Structure 1
Amino acid sequence: MKLLSIPNIQSEQDKMRRAKISIIGAGNVGATCAHWCAAAELGDIVLLDIPQTEDMPAGKALDLMQASPIMGFDSNIVGTTSYDDTADSDVVVVTAGIPRKPGMSRDDLLGTNAKIITSVAGQIKESSPNAVVIVVSNPLDAMVQQMWKVTGFDSARVCGQAGVLDTARYRAFLAMELGVSVEDISALLMGGHGDTMVPMPSCTSVGGIPVTQLIEEKRLEEIVDRTRKGGAEIVSLLKTGSAYYAPAAACAQMAEAVVKDKKRVIPVAALCDSEYSVGGYYVGVPVVMGSGGVEKIIELQLTEKETAAFQHSVSAVKDLVAAMDQLLSS
């Protein structure tokens, strides 16, 4: 029996490599992000955790690889505890840090996670100096500020995942309220990731119909309040952890915007200086996201009420960053 020879295609593979997505933190959010990214065939994936986790990242990566014949994706997935395996990543998603537990606010994580992010940022700077970095760790707005400060990357290449998640929760609750498809709901939330996030009713519609024509103001505010507390609601239900399906899906959407140069108009935590008169802090705003990361910040004409709420949210972010800086310097 004569075996067929397979032509050498290595040279073509060298020219046409897949995007490389590294995920720092192989816990629930990180592993689920790897799952979403692999299923969408966004690129090859490296799932990294600290050395103390030993073979855990490799086990999760192998499990995902064994799902590939069933689900029909060809992404290569590697689990590791070495940053050497993440070298020259196109996108780095950072989920590292301790999660919230019942009774904890995002701000309660500040001191511990700031030190973790400082260490991770230094490693990313060395291993993937050209990557777009998407930070997920809480408290989000302070953590992405610290990532940018330590890496020294162009601010366009460092952003935070919060707005996509918050808006998704808002859209889900609106769809549940109205009994309509989530696909027909377009919405926007701005500001910090937490209790001061700012709803934008003027930018919320259902099949093109302003939401204010479908839901009374009082009920709409109740839905917004549930959105603000969306993460805490899940923490209280899980009892031993925090949300991960939706946060991971939001990360994957942002990674897709980068590796496919989608030019998506989505809300993310981006560095705003003169924009919205923020003065050099990361806050949630609508942006155009593509291969360069945050390629444009979209400035909206806010109402007087929206402006006041946004400024209040920015003040909370500034206080959080100041508290972080004090903890890191002590």
Structure 2
Amino acid sequence: MFSRALKPVASVAAQNGAKNFSTTSQKNFKVAVAGAAGGIGQPLALLLKQNPLVTRLALYDLAPVTPGVAVDLSHMDTPAKVTGHKGPEELAEAIKGADLVVIPAGVPRKPGMTRDDLFNTNASIVRDLAKCVAQNSPKAIMAIITNPVNSMVPIASEVLKKAGCYDPNRILGVTTLDVVRAAAFIGEINGVDPRSVSIPVIGGHSGVTIIPVLSQSQPAVKLTSQDQIKALTGRIQEAGTEVVKAKAGGGSATLSMAFAGARLAGAVLRGLKGESNVVECAYIKSDITESPYFANPVVLGKNGVEKNLGFGTLNAYEKELLKAAIPELLKNIKVGEEFVKNSK
């Protein structure tokens, strides 16, 4: 059901038999990564540099190392041209003309922190980046990784509304990591290649708002009791905390998040290119539940979100999970919207 990520190009030259790259059937897409020098940003940029649909890769960050990251990546023998942009004065140039802006910028979680603890710092970052997108590339698709995603997507939406260029189909919260984790865990349980697992994860991107629809897993999850289902659900919901604890103060989920972000970015670009039936889960403006933003499978096309596929039939347990998620989502969304309303 869900589109797989484009496979990394281990050696384009080896695949083509020469250093000649064929671009006749490709579109020219510029992707900007805001927060490109960070723990997610660098591996994300590495993966995007390997994507044949990316012809220009603009890396932006406050960190002085950012131009060096660009130079480092530019030595890879893949066609995308990489530019590095550091500091607020170079942000506009990074964003200008972008087809897709991927935002992992912000502070990461540390032990004992919830995603809500990150709000004040990260909200300002996303607000300012959204303003820059509105001014320099208002038609760009924004894929927001910055936590808490449940609040950041409403913030970007309200900023673009103020700027008069809001298109709900072009602002996505990246919840792909929840899908990736669910597939990885189910693959382990079932003893199968996790890439063969199709599993929708709906709701939002924190704690109880993460709802893995295990009843719709293909292949079916090989669990025999409801207690096992609850345990797997809880593990998926708290998988980020599992990483934070395992890194013992050394960071949060960066590598798996970069992988998931690159997967969604690749799907967005395939949709922009005109490929049909590109499906991923994403957190978007929605009217299918009481929550005005909600994650579930969507079709991606030439204008971003082409169709909201909803979430099908839930079993009794999943309905209870949804019931618990909605109040939390509503709270998260209100916090984001109020932040923009009270901003100068």
Contact 1:136 1:160 in 2 (8 A): yes
Residue in 1 that maps onto 2:283: 269
Aligned partner (choices 102, 107, 110) of residue 111 of structure 2: 102
Aligned residues of 1:20 and 1:90 also touching (Cα < 8 A)? yes
Normalising by structure 2, we get a TM-score of 0.82
CA offsets, 1:178-228, max 9 Å, x none?
32211221111111211111121221122xxx22x5543322321221111
Residue 224, structure 1, aligned to residue 233, structure 2: yes
Offset, 1:46: 0.5
Q: Is the 8 A contact 1:101 1:242 kept in 2?
A: yes
Matches within 5 A, 1:105-184: 105-152=114-161, 153-162=166-175, 164-184=176-196
Which structure has the larger Rg over C-alpha atoms?
1
Cα distance in 1 for partners of 2:184, 2:303 equals: 29
Is the CA contact (8 Å cut-off) linking 1:283 and 1:314 kept in structure 2?
no
CA contact (8 A) 2:35 2:60 kept: yes
CA contact (8 A) 1:111 1:324 kept: no
| AA aligned opposite 1:218 | D
Correspondence for 1:77: 82
Matches within 5 A, 1:207-222: 210-211=220-221, 214-222=223-231
Does the CA contact (< 8 Å) of 2:97 and 2:137 recur in 1? yes
Query: In 2, distance between residues paired with 1:18 and 1:107?
Result: 37
Question: 1:161/1:314 Cα in 2 relative to 1: closer, same or farther (>3 Å)?
Answer: same
Match of 2:198 in 1: 186
Question: What residue number does 1:308 align with?
Answer: 320
Aligned letter for 2:169? A
Moved over 6 A (4+): none
Q: Aligned to 2:284, what secondary structure does the other structure show?
A: strand
User: What amino acid maps onto 1:267 in structure 2?
Assistant: C
* Secondary structure class of the residue paired with 1:226: helix
How far has the Cα of 1:161 moved from its partner?
0.2
Secondary structure of 2:289 counterpart: helix
Deviation at 1:167, TM superposition (A): 1.2
Aligned residues: 303
Counterparts of 1:247 and 1:200, CA distance in 2: 20
- Is 1:198 aligned to residue 211 of structure 2? yes
Q: Is the 8 A contact 1:269 1:282 kept in 2?
A: yes
Query: Letter of the aligned partner of 1:46 in structure 2?
Result: A
1:121-152 Cα offsets, whole Å, 9 max, x none, are 10111111110110000000100111111023
Tell me which residue corresponds to 2:263. 253
Instruction: Report the residue type matching 1:271 in the other structure.
Output: K
Name which of structure 1's ranges 222-231 and 249-258 shifts more when overlaid on structure 2. Answer: 249-258
Q: Is 2:151–2:333's contact at 8 Å kept on the other side of the alignment? A: yes
TM superposition shift of 1:297? 0.7
1:18 to 18, 28, 32: 28
What secondary structure is seen at the aligned counterpart in 2 of 1:120?
A: helix
The reply to whether residue 45 of structure 1 matches residue 57 of structure 2 is yes
The 8 Å contact of residues 223 and 229 in structure 2, kept in 1 or not, is answered as: no
Q: What is the letter of the counterpart of residue 303 of structure 2?
A: G
Q: TM-score if structure 1 supplies the norm length?
A: 0.86
* Aligned partners of 1:91 and 1:132 also within 8 Å: yes
Q: Runs of 5+ in structure 2 lacking a partner?
A: 1-22
Please give the root-mean-square deviation of Cα atoms over the aligned residues, in Å: 2.1
Q: Percent identity?
A: 29
8 Å Cα contact 1:24-1:94 kept in structure 2: yes
